[in-house]
Structure 1
């Protein structure tokens, strides 16, 4: 199974998951799986429908919010925040490497934490988001 990196009590991130991972995720205590990859992004990824069926069979909630990694919009950020906030927690969000999900999370935190705290949390989870500082400031309206 993919490496799971915890960002906070309610949200962890991971690289690409497989349908066979869902039962193990349920046993690990996750309640919701959030897929941030568009279907067909790479040939080796399972479809969202396959993942949703496996998640449901394992007793997990499943959400699919396709986000293009190099073109994250404010709508994507707000959508991610809404899904995580309303989902049964804890949530495991995944994409190809986990960076896109971590970026989405970081951008939702702009009004709640300073850049240093956000970037340190991401780094502790294994993601270098240092290039995100200006975008975080923009989200704050600075």
Structure 2
């Protein structure tokens, strides 16, 4: 599978929509779950329902958690974080370019690891994820800083 970035032993991000072969490879490579962040309005080879059926036929758990680039809100991140906690790992998260999937996974892990927002952005860049807009970078920093402090309190 091309454009796959392994974050750690529990998470990987695919910077592209998955096709049937990618899903089969994910199962063969030991993934336990696939999370699709693409909305139904986005052009994709497999509709989310079809992707879910293929994933389940391969023995994978599947979650369609649509988040548009314009809908990246604290609520969307919170729902993502709650839902992934019940999924078997390792978890493969994907969207169209890796921007959303990378941001959501990095925010989750930064909070779990007690990192600051700045550290989260630096770690994301090191792993190959760029906050490609000032707005995304500001959102990641703000979200992580607000939730890391709350978790430490």
> Under a length normalisation based on structure 1, what TM-score does the superposition of the two structures give?
0.86
Identify the residue that residue 37 of structure 2 maps to in structure 1: 36
Q: Structure 1 residues 18-27 or 54-63, which shifts more?
A: 18-27
Q: Structure 1 residues 93-102 or 126-135, which shifts more?
A: 126-135
Distance (whole Å) between structure 2 residues aligned to residue 94 and residue 50 of structure 1: 15
Identify the residue that residue 94 of structure 1 maps to in structure 2: 94
Structure 1: state its 5+ residue gaps.
none
The partner residue of 1:128 within 119, 122, 130 is 130
Q: Structure 1 residues 58-67 or 83-92, which shifts more?
A: 83-92
- Is residue 2:17 matched to residue 1:16? yes
Matches within 5 A, 1:1-142: 1-14=1-14, 15-42=16-43, 44-109=44-109, 111=111, 112-129=114-131, 131=134, 132-139=136-143, 140-141=145-146
How many residues of Structure 1 are paired with residues of Structure 2 in the alignment?
141
1:42-93 CA deviation, whole Å, 9 max, x = no partner? 2x43100110111011111100000011330111101111122221011000
> Under a length normalisation based on structure 2, what TM-score does the superposition of the two structures give?
0.81
- Helix, strand or coil: the match of 2:9? coil
Distance (whole Å) between structure 2 residues aligned to residue 109 and residue 22 of structure 1: 24
Which has a greater percent of helix? 2
